[in-house]
């Protein structure tokens, strides 16, 4: 192994402090498309707290992905022009409150070197805790750094992805995205110009800015919410997805879903380009 590999594996950052309010919760829900129909009471429950009849504001489970935006093991010194999200796996220990002060403990779990011209994958974990020290969510992320391979780490050993059933989907749902959706979602924390600046996107080998992978991830959570969870955010125990291709703002995402007990498998496509954008998806409901 190399010194660079050892440096990455040793990275950790404990006790990071963050706070969020109901404004952040609603902005995230709106950023993944909830509330497009101003008369849909089930979706309004995630984006509107100002009601005549009092009710609790709901928190989209995958808000956990932005609740401590910026947390992580530290600066990995990767070529950000060539870094994309590979996978996200969130385990939900407790329902997220509408507003909270939280802490985040982050560490690197593994580094997998695909070769000098093939990039590397970094897997890292962040545990979110409330003020009492109780776990709220555990986030495991993988980053595919296309320009940073060749450091000498292992090439194999990543966890096997979830396998979706081979039968026809039990349900399919179309979810439209807005042409300005990336400009809204970036206000949740991810200001990477890949999602907002045409020149930056072109230099990164994309014809135009792409939708955040984590926005697509949130959209898949929304798809499960509206199909098998009856908009019950508290039912989510785990939500996993692999990013296989980007979505361009304005496209329609089609989710195929399979239900086996409390496990919902899913994949997502953009039919207009005949491309799969999410693979190996799994939600565990409780």
Catalytically annotated residue among 85, 190, 239, 256: 190
CATH superfamily of 3-285: Hotdog Thioesterase (3.10.129.10)
pLDDT digits (tens, 9 = 90+) for 190-245: 999 999 999 999 998 899 999 999 999 999 999 999 999 999 999 999 999 999 99
Mean pLDDT of the chain: 95
Is 195 one of the catalytic residues?
yes
What's the pLDDT score for residue 58?
98
| Mean pLDDT lowest among 35-44, 53-62, 76-85, 262-271 | 76-85
The pLDDT of residue 81 is above 80: no
pLDDT digits (tens, 9 = 90+) for 151-163: 887 888 788 999 9
Residue 141 has phi, psi (to 5 degrees) of -125, 150
| Closest among 68, 44, 69 to 58, alpha carbons compared | 44
Alpha-carbon distance of 173 to 177, in angstroms, equals 13
The pLDDT of residue 139 is above 90: yes
pLDDT digits (tens, 9 = 90+) for 174-195: 999 999 999 999 999 999 999 9
pTM: 0.94
pLDDT digits (tens, 9 = 90+) for 11-32: 999 999 999 999 999 999 999 9
The pLDDT of residue 38 is above 80: yes
Alpha helices in the chain (DSSP H): 3-9, 22-31, 41-47, 64-67, 181-185, 198-203, 213-227
What is the pLDDT confidence band of residue 83, given thresholds at 50, 70 and 90?
confident
Query: The sheet that has 263-270: what strands, in order across it?
Result: 12-20, 100-115, 119-129, 135-145, 83-92, 236-243, 275-285, 263-270, 252-260, 171-176
Catalytically annotated residue among 124, 195, 212, 239: 195
What's the pLDDT score for residue 1?
66
Is 190 one of the catalytic residues?
yes
Instruction: Find the mean pLDDT for residues 60-74.
Output: 97
β-strand 119-129 against 100-115: which pairing, if any? antiparallel
Instruction: Find the mean pLDDT for residues 117-121.
Output: 86
């Amino acid at each position: 192994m190399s010194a660079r590999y050892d440096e990455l594996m040793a990275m950790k950052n404990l006790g990071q402090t963050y706070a969020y309010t109901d404004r952040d919760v609603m902005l995230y829900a709106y950023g993944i498309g909830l509330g497009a129909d101003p008369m849909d009471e089930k979706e309004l429950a995630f984006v509107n707290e100002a009601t005549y009849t009092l009710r609790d504001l709901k928190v989209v489970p995958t808000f956990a992905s932005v609740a401590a935006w910026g947390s992580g093991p530290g600066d990995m010194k990767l070529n950000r022009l060539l870094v994309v999200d590979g996978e996200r796996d969130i385990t939900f220990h407790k329902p997220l409150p509408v507003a909270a002060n939280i802490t985040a403990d982050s560490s690197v779990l593994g580094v997998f070197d695909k070769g000098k011209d093939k990039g590397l994958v970094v897997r890292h974990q962040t545990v979110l805790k409330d003020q009492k020290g109780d776990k709220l969510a555990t986030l495991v992320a993988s980053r595919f750094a296309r320009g940073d391979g060749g450091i000498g780490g292992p090439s194999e050993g990543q966890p096997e992805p979830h396998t979706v059933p081979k039968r026809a989907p039990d349900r399919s749902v179309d979810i439209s995205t807005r042409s300005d959706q990336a400009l809204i979602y970036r206000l949740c924390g991810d200001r990477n110009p890949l999602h907002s600046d045409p020149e930056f996107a072109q230099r990164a080998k994309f014809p135009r800015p792409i939708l955040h992978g984590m926005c697509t991830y949130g959209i898949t959570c929304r798809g499960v919410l509206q199909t098998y969870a009856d908009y019950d955010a508290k039912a989510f125990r785990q939500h996993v997805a692999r990013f296989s291709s980007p979505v361009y703002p304005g496209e329609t995402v089609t989710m195929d879903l399979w239900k086996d007990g409390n496990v919902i498998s899913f994949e997502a496509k953009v039919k207009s380009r005949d491309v799969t954008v999410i693979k190996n998806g799994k939600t565990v409901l409780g």
